[in-house]
């Protein structure tokens, strides 16, 4: 069998077009566009490029980007103050702290200072808790993107065996919660899982987010499964040979002989993350606008 390739680039472009149309309607109705603030501390390799990509994507859909940068030696209090300013700024609908932050800072604690109503990465304890309780909130972007890819692939989630390899707070745990909410039977694997191959081979939906090049071999994949490869591993030129230097956690060639549908790396999950960051920013902007109009009505009523 040769698997259908799930085209994340095309699906992300469609999501971004939908967001652009909705942003225009939002801006016409409320007289201003949603705003997305990125906070970058220092110059971790790649982070400036990621932030520039987010800023550009924001402009492309008609949102207003706010680009805040602090030096690598910024103190905890300086970063906290920046986040609190953005929390208080009505022009800013969403705030994200680009991770990782320099070693002397505590990334999770700083992230938790972002107002839950502006937490467009969905990583604060409040939003993680809401997800876990099955209540509305802002969800992490990459797992949301994967749900969209699964939907596009026509994956039947109800009652399906879903295996997520990786249990990070950023991806694996929220991914498992989203699948559970759709009534999949979910198993989460990690570095201490016994017989990873045997667990993966049960999966109708197999999702790998590990950060180990080609860990998931062809014989880990159940015939007819849908395989989503979240891993992004940069190979050295010697390792890469004549391929692209970026590979996933799945042995793509072998797995695509067995799977029904599979994401490539690059061009699978990667483009979905920014698309859902924009979607979350719009969601946050709508929430703020509704709150403001509710309070405006209250003010009028009290006159
Ligand atoms: P992470 O925080 O390093 O977590 C990796 C997870 O993999 C951990 O739960 C770890 O287990 C598990 N693991 C490590 N070795 C394993 C093994 N041999 N067998 C089974 N499980 C193993 O990583 P992350 O942030 O979730 O990211 C994972 C990958 O996804 C990375 O390549 C990252 O670049 C990529 N990613 C891509 C996007 C995107 O496309 N936009 C977004 C997020 C992540 P323990 O918990 O036991 O240590």
| pLDDT in the model for residue 43 | 87
- By most ligand atoms within 8 Å of CB, the mutation choice from 171, 208, 278 for ligand 1 is 171
Strands (E), 54-157: 64-70, 94-97
Statement: residue 1 has pLDDT above 90: no
Ligand 1 pocket by Cβ (under 6 Å) = 142, 165-168, 170-172, 189-193, 196, 209-212, 215, 230-233, 269-270, 273
Pick the closest to residue 57 from 288, 271, 292 (CA basis).
271
| Distance in Å, CA 130 to ligand 1 centroid | 23
Q: List pLDDT tens digits, range 166-207.
A: 999 999 999 999 999 999 999 999 999 999 999 999 999 999
| Distance in Å, CA 249 to ligand 1 centroid | 9
Statement: residue 3 has pLDDT above 90: yes
Sheet holding 261-262, edge to edge: 4-5, 261-262, 226-229, 205-208, 161-165, 185-189
In sequence order, the 6+-apart residues with CB closer than 8 A to the CB of 240 are 247
Give the mean pLDDT of 205-231. 98
Q: List pLDDT tens digits, range 246-294.
A: 999 999 999 999 999 999 999 999 999 999 999 999 999 999 998 887 7
Q: Is 98 marked active-site?
A: yes
Atom of ligand 1 nearest to the CA of 210: 7
Q: What is the mean pLDDT of the chain?
A: 95
DSSP, collapsed to helix, strand or coil, labels residue 159 as coil
| Distance in Å, CA 211 to ligand 1 centroid | 5
Axis crossing angle, helix 270-302 with helix 141-152, rounded to the nearest 10: 110
Q: Strand pairing partners for 188?
A: 164
Please state which of the ranges 98-102, 179-183, 228-232, 296-300 shows the lowest mean pLDDT: 296-300
Statement: residue 241 has pLDDT above 90: no
Q: List pLDDT tens digits, range 124-137.
A: 999 999 999 999 99
Catalytic residue (one of 119, 121, 229, 251): 121
| pLDDT in the model for residue 285 | 98
Q: What is the DSSP letter of 9?
A: H
Prediction pTM value: 0.96
| Distance in Å, CA 243 to ligand 1 centroid | 22
Q: Is 78 marked active-site?
A: no
Q: List pLDDT tens digits, range 242-251.
A: 666 899 999 9
257: left (phi over 0), alpha (psi -120 to 50) or beta: alpha
């Amino acid at each position: 069998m040769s698997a259908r390739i799930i085209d994340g680039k095309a699906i992300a472009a469609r999501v971004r077009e939908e967001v652009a149309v909705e942003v225009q309607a939002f801006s016409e109705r409320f007289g201003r566009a949603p705003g997305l603030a990125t906070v970058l501390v220092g110059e971790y390799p790649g982070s400036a490029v990621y932030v520039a990509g987010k800023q550009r994507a924001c402009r492309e859909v008609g949102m207003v980007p706010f680009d805040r940068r602090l030096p690598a030696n910024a103190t905890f209090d300086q970063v906290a103050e920046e986040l609190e300013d953005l929390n208080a700024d009505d022009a800013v609908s969403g705030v994200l702290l680009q991770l990782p932050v320099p070693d002397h800072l505590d990334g999770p604690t700083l992230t938790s200072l972002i107002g839950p109503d502006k937490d467009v990465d969905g990583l604060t304890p409040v939003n993680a808790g809401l997800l876990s309780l099955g209540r509305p909130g802002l969800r992490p972007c990459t797992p949301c993107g994967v749900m969209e890819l699964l939907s596009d692939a026509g994956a039947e989630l109800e009652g399906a065996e879903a295996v997520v390899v990786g249990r990070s707070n950023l991806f694996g745990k929220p991914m498992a919660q989203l699948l559970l909410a759709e009534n999949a039977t979910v198993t989460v694997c990690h570095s201490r899982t016994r017989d990873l191959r045997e667990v993966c081979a049960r999966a109708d939906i197999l999702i790998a987010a590990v950060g180990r090049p080609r860990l998931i071999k062809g014989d880990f994949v159940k015939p007819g499964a849908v395989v989503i490869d979240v891993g992004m591993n940069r190979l050295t030129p010697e390792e890469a040979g004549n391929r692209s230097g970026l590979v996933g956690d799945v042995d793509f060639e072998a797995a695509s002989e067995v799977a029904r549908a599979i994401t490539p790396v690059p061009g699978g999950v990667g483009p979905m993350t920014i698309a859902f960051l924009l979607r979350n920013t719009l969601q946050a902007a709508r929430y703020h606008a509704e709150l403001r109009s509710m309070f405006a009505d209250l003010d009028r009523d009290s006159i």
